[in-house]
Amino acid sequence: MTAPVLPADSPEAIARAAALLREGGLVAMPTETVYGLAADAGNAAAVARLYAAKGRPRFNPLIAHVSGIAMAKRLVEWPALADALASAFWPGPLTLVLPKLADAPVCDLANAGLDSVAIRAPGHAAAQALLTAFGGPLVAPSANPSGGVSPTTAAHVSDGLGEMLDLILDGGPCTVGVESTVIALLDGRATLLRPGGLERDRIEAITGPLAIAGHSDAPASPGMLASHYAPGAAMRLNATVAQAGELLLGFGPIAGDLNLSPTGDLAEAAARLFAALREMDAAGPKLIAVAPIPDEGLGEAINDRLQRAAAPREMP
Ligand code: AMP
Ligand code: MG
């Protein structure tokens, strides 16, 4: 049976979701980045169910979502740089990896046994309401089968994981549309682990130049699998025209069969990216070709997702 879908702006739906989470349930929640598959971060049985529902490799640590700085301080050490970044960008699409406190309400399975935890305060009213009602951290990876295209609407969640969940909160389409930027604040250094919905230059205005973790840097950023976000069709990047059997995803003046942003607006393109990949994939092309996206601002996150969607498949 597929999970019920309730409106995320309903207080009754939030109360129901919080009650399900307290019982170890799985609830899909809207965030500004993508839809998250939420579970109680401190409940190992719930987190094990979450990994099983996604078919996710166990070594991928999860992001613990918090309502804000006060809740974050119950989970991790909190250096001045964390305070500066969280004060500037939370709630919002920025995840910070920090040393885990011994008594943090995050089970070892949730952070894959590392001595650090990734935390983020999401900037969506429903996610905030749910975190406040629940009163503790919620792990919430993207609410889709592992390796596939991330969900940016409740219908995407229902299509991919409906049977595995207890409840889906429908908060409308995600406004940012790509996952959070992940920064590690460990050993006194700030390192970019994953480009995302907060532009790197806005972070560097506070941190100074970031160290960059390579994709091969598996222990530092275990979620950075080469193949991820993959649609059913193969992908070809930096294309200007579609060849036989291909559909072209356009950007700016390269119109394509579907255009991420006719005006060349990277924020609009990020918000539409995953829904556009799903829509094109549904037409069953042999290959999805994608127009070049400038590698600046949010283009860094868009190109990261496209490169991994196009990478040779290594499904878990
Ligand atoms: P997502 O699957 O979108 O929730 O992404 C989680 C991201 O955060 C992945 O890239 C993980 O590798 C990264 N991450 C989570 N926890 C940690 C951690 N403790 N150390 C390093 N990276 C982490
Ligand atoms: Mg994901």
- The CATH number of whichever domain residue 261 belongs to comes to 3.40.50.11030
Is any ligand 1 atom within 6 A of the Cβ of residue 116?
A: yes
147 and 203 in a common domain: yes
Q: Are strands 5-7 and 167-170 parallel, antiparallel or unpaired?
A: parallel
> In ligand 1, which atom is closest to the CA atom of 184?
21
CB atoms within 10 A of CB 296: 12
163: DSSP letter: G
Atom 9 (ligand 1) nearest CA? 223
How many whole angstroms separate alpha carbon 126 and alpha carbon 128?
A: 5
Among candidate residues 177, 212, 247, the one where a domain is terminated? 212
Residues 101 and 61 placed together within one structural domain of the fold: yes
**Are 44 and 193 in a shared domain?**
yes
CB 267 within 8 A of CB 258: no
Tell whether the torsion through CA atoms of 220, 222, 225 and 228 is positive or negative. negative
| Boundaries of domain holding 278 | 234-310
Rounded to the nearest 10 degrees, the angle between the axes of helix 299-310 and helix 266-282 is: 20
Domain endpoint, select from 178, 212, 246: 212
Task: Kindly state whether residues 97 and 38 are assigned to the same domain.
Answer: yes
Which of 33, 50, 51, 62 is the pocket-test mutation for ligand 1 (most atoms within 8 Å of CB)? 62
- CA-CA-CA-CA torsion sign (228, 200, 38, 98): positive
Residue 227 in domain: no
Instruction: Please indicate, yes or no, if residue 224 is contained in any of the structural domains.
Output: no
b/e code 275-291 from CB counts within 10 Å (16+ = b): bbbbebbeeebebbbbb
- Which residue's C-alpha comes closest to atom 7 of ligand 1? 223
Same domain, 120 and 41: yes
CB 248 within 8 A of CB 254: yes
Protein residue whose Cα sits closest to atom 11 of ligand 1: 223
Q: Looking at the structure, do residues 136 and 61 belong to the same domain, yes or no?
A: yes
pLDDT at residue 313 in the model? 78
In this structure, are 260 and 293 located in the same domain?
yes
Is the same domain home to 263 and 181?
no
- Residue 117 CA, closest ligand 1 atom number: 19
Q: Is 25 in the pocket of ligand 1 (CB under 6 A)?
A: no
CB of 193 closer than 6 A to ligand 1? Answer: yes
The total domain count for the chain is 2
pLDDT in tens, 43-56: 999 999 999 999 87
Same structural domain, 31 and 178? yes
Which positions of the chain have pLDDT values less than 70? 59, 214-225, 314-316
> Same domain for 148 and 16?
yes
The ligand 1 atom at the shortest distance from the C-alpha of residue 95 is 8
Q: Whose CA is nearest to atom 1 of ligand 1?
A: 141
Alpha helix (H) ranges present in the chain?
A: 11-22, 44-54, 69-72, 80-89, 125-134, 154-161, 200-207, 266-282, 299-310
CATH number reported for the structural domain that contains residue 167 in this entry: 3.90.870.10
Q: Is residue 218 part of a domain?
A: no
20 shares its domain with 70: yes
Ligand 1 pocket, residue 66 CB under 6 Å = no
Does residue 182 line the site of ligand 1, with CB under 6 A?
Answer: yes
Of 160, 180, 212, the domain-final residue: 212
Give the number of whichever ligand sits closest to the CA of residue 151: 2
Residue 191 lies in a domain: yes
Q: Is residue 223 part of a domain?
A: no
Answer whether 31 contacts ligand 1 (Cβ < 6 A): no
Ligand 1 atom index nearest CA of 140: 4
Q: Which of 29, 54, 58, 63 to mutate to test the pocket of ligand 1 (most atoms within 8 A of CB)?
A: 63
* Shortest-distance Cα residue to atom 12 of ligand 1: 223
Alpha-carbon Rg for the chain in angstroms: 19
CA 244 to ligand 2 centroid distance, Å: 31
Tens of pLDDT, residues 55-78: 877 768 999 999 999 999 999 999
Q: Is the Cβ–Cβ distance between 86 and 25 less than 8 Å?
A: no
- Whether 262 maps to a domain, the answer reads yes
The alpha carbon of 146 and the centre of ligand 2 are apart by a number of angstroms equal to 6
For residue 54, which ligand has an atom nearest its CA? 2
Residues sharing a CB contact under 8 Å with residue 72, sequence separation 6 or more, in sequence order: 66, 78, 82, 86, 96, 119, 121
Is residue 228 domain-resident? no
Same domain, 13 and 155: yes
Is the CB–ligand 1 distance for residue 150 below 6 Å?
A: no
Q: What is the pLDDT of residue 216?
A: 46
In a domain, 315, yes or no: no
Sorted by sequence, the CB contacts under 8 Å of residue 120 that are 6+ apart come out as 63, 64, 65, 66, 90, 93, 94, 95, 96, 180
State residue 225's pLDDT score. Answer: 63
At residue 224, the pLDDT reads 60
